[in-house]
Structure 1
Amino acid sequence: MGSTARFDFPKVFEKLNDHLRFLENRLNIGICRVDLSERRMVWSDGIYDLFDHDRSVQPSRDALLQRMHPADRKDREVVNVALQRRISFDDRFRVILRDRRIRWMRASGEFLFDENGTPDALLVLMTDVTAEQTQRDVMIAADAARRPGHAAVMDTGHQASDMLTGVASLIAQRLLFI
Structure 2
Amino acid sequence: MNLHPPAHRVDPRAADLSSHDFMRLIEAFGLTGAWRWDFVSGRQVWSSGLYRLLGLREGEPASYERLLDLVHPADRDVLEDAAQIVQAGVLSSHTVRLIRPDGTARTVVSRGEVFFSPAGRPVAATGVLLDVTDRERLAEMHRLEQQRLASLARDAQVFIHTEPSLPLTEYEPDFLALVGLRREEVRADWLSPIVPEERPRWRDELPRLAALGQPFSIAPTLRLAEGGAAPFRMTLVPLRDGTPDPVCWTAVIAPLAAEAPARERPQRQAEPAVRVERAIEGRHLRAARGLLDWTLNDLARESGLSLSTVRRLEEESEGPSSRSRPHVLAALRKAGIVFTLVEGGAVALARAE
TM-score of the aligned structures, taking structure 2 as reference length = 0.35
From the two aligned structures, give the one with the greater helix fraction.
1
Shift of 1:102: 1.0
Higher relative contact order (CA 8 A, sep 6+): 1
Taking the TM superposition and a 5 Å limit, the aligned residue runs for 1:52-131 are 52-74=55-77, 76-77=79-80, 89-131=92-134
Secondary structure in 2 matching 1:89: coil
Q: 1:121 to 1:142 in 2, by over 3 A?
A: same
Contact 1:90–1:107 at 8 Å: present in 2 too?
A: yes
C-alpha separation in 2, matches of 1:123 and 1:153:
53
CA distance in 1, matches of 2:74, 2:85: 22
Structure 2: gaps (5+ residues): 1-17, 161-353
Give % identity. 25
In structure 1, distance between residues paired with 2:29 and 2:109: 16
- SS of residue paired to 1:74: helix
1:51 is aligned, of 48, 54, 75, to 54
In 2, the alpha carbon distance for the partners of 1:115 and 1:86 equals 14
Q: 1:86 to 1:77 in 2, by over 3 A?
A: closer
Partner of 2:140: 137
Change (3 A) 1:75 1:38: farther
Deviations 1:90-118 (A, max 9, x none): 10111112332211011001111122222
| Residue 36 (str. 1) matches residue 50 (str. 2) | no
Matches of 1:154 and 1:78 in 2, distance apart? 50
Say which SS state the counterpart of residue 48 (structure 1) adopts. helix
Q: Secondary structure at the match of 1:54?
A: coil
Q: Is the contact made by 2:86 and 2:123 (CA closer than 8 Å) also made in structure 1? A: no
**CA deviation after TM superposition for structure 1 residue 156, in Å:** 6.1
Runs of 4+ aligned residues of structure 1 deviating over 4 Å after TM superposition are 15-18, 77-88, 148-154
CA contact (8 A) 2:78 2:94 kept: no
